[in-house]
Each structure stands twice: as structure tokens, then as C-alpha cells.
Amino acid sequence: MVGDDSLPLSALQHWLFCPRQCALIHVERLWEENRLTAEGRVLHDRADEGIAESREGMRVLRSVHVVSGRLSLHGVADVVEMHGSVPFPVEYKRGRPKAHRADEVQLCAQAICLEEMTGQNVPEGALFYGARRRRQVVAFDPELRMLTERVAIEASAAMAAGTLPVPIYDPGRCESCSLYALCRPQASRDAKNWMARRLARAGVPE
């Protein structure tokens, strides 16, 4: 069962990437698509297509609904390979591996859900990046598990509070975000610069 306070797994990725983006999507219910999000959606659709199959001694499940009551999380794992009774989650992403750990946190959250659902330890999974066309194996070590649980707690508390974090402009993230026009991350900076110019013209020291 999914409670009213349950948070989508994707929110963890959004929160670690940008708390304001997370709130815009999961509190304000805003969404815009650009080329990057469209490519990611197509990649996920392809991963989710088809039915369960068996190959090379393992069972391959697609679009697996997962949930964690302990962390109040729910979502859909793109692919779960069953190696005997041990799940191995595989998350599909467009592009390349990131400098931050948002993708790894989302995958680890899937593993935590699967552990709770199956009673099995899930030691690792994989991220498949479309630009590289190959997997990156991710070990669910204590450090990543602690980060995942911390992000889940922080994001859940922020979403429950319903507050919208102030924008922080970062060209590397903001320019590629589909919510750029809705977020207006440079608005606060522009206002600050405008006020500074007005004070300077009036001869008021900073």
C-alpha cells in the first residue's frame, strides 16, 4: 500500500540535483519538456517495453512497481533482473554518468524497496547510460545507503512543508533544465544587481 505521504523515487534524484526543481515538480506540480527530457522519456519507454523474459539463467522483469514503507517511497524500476531470488535493478538514463550521485541514489532507493519487498539483500545494481550504450555497475555500500536515506528524509520533510526553495543559478544545471523558464533562477540575482546599481547611483555605500 502507498500512503498519502509516500514520495516518488524520482523525487530523490530531483532533490539531490536541485531542491527547487524537486519542489516545482512535486509540490507545485509543474512540468515542461525539452529535448533532453524527451530523449530520456523515449529511452525509458524502450526499456519498459516488452514482457518478462528468461535468459542466461535469470528472469528479466520490466516496469516493476516498488515501495518502501520504512522510507515512505514508491516508484517503478525500469528493469529488475532476478538472479535466482536476488533482485538486480537496472535504471536507464540518457546522456553520460554525472559528477553528482543523484542517479546512484535513485537506483539505491529502488534496491532498498526491493529488499523490503523480497526480504533479500540487494548488493548491487546498474545504471545504463544511453550515450555510452553500456552499464555502470553500482555497489550499494554503506556510504551510498546512508546518503540515500538522508536524501529521502530531507526530501520528504521539504515536500510535506510545501515550501519552494529560493533559486540558485548554476549554469551547468540550470541551462539544461526543462523548468528553466518556470523557475527563473536568475530573477533574484537580477533584482539584487538592480538594487546595487540604484544604491551606487544614489551614492549609498555597500
The pLDDT score that the predictor gives to residue 126 is 97
Asked if residue 96 has pLDDT above 70, the reply is yes
Asked if residue 205 has pLDDT above 70, the reply is no
The pLDDT score that the predictor gives to residue 190 is 46
8 A C-beta contact, residue 85 and residue 120? yes
pTM for the model stands at 0.77
8 A C-beta contact, residue 129 and residue 93? yes
Choose between 132 and 75: higher pLDDT: 75
The pLDDT score that the predictor gives to residue 195 is 43
Asked if residue 94 has pLDDT above 70, the reply is yes
Averaged confidence pLDDT in the chain:
81
Confidence of residue 22 (pLDDT cuts 50, 70, 90): confident
The pLDDT score that the predictor gives to residue 21 is 86
The pLDDT score that the predictor gives to residue 194 is 41
pLDDT tens per residue, range 143-182: 999 999 999 999 999 888 888 888 888 887 787 777 777 7
∠ CA 181-28-158 to the nearest 5 degrees? Answer: 115
Q: In the CATH hierarchy, which top-level class contains the domain 7-165?
A: alpha beta
Asked if residue 191 has pLDDT above 90, the reply is no
The pLDDT score that the predictor gives to residue 182 is 77
67 closest CA partner among 117, 125, 107: 117
The pLDDT score that the predictor gives to residue 118 is 96
Give the H or E element holding residue 180.
helix 180-183
Which range has highest mean pLDDT (6-15, 24-33, 52-61, 145-154)?
Answer: 145-154
Lowest mean pLDDT, pick from 30-34, 92-96, 178-182: 30-34
The pLDDT score that the predictor gives to residue 128 is 92
∠ CA 89-90-91 to the nearest 5 degrees? Answer: 120
pLDDT tens per residue, range 40-62: 455 555 555 556 677 777 899 99
Q: What is the dihedral of CA 75, 76, 79, 83, to 10 degrees?
A: 50
Going from N- to C-terminal start, the domains of the chain cover: 7-165, 167-206
Q: What are 143's three cell numbers? A: 556510504
The pLDDT score that the predictor gives to residue 3 is 59
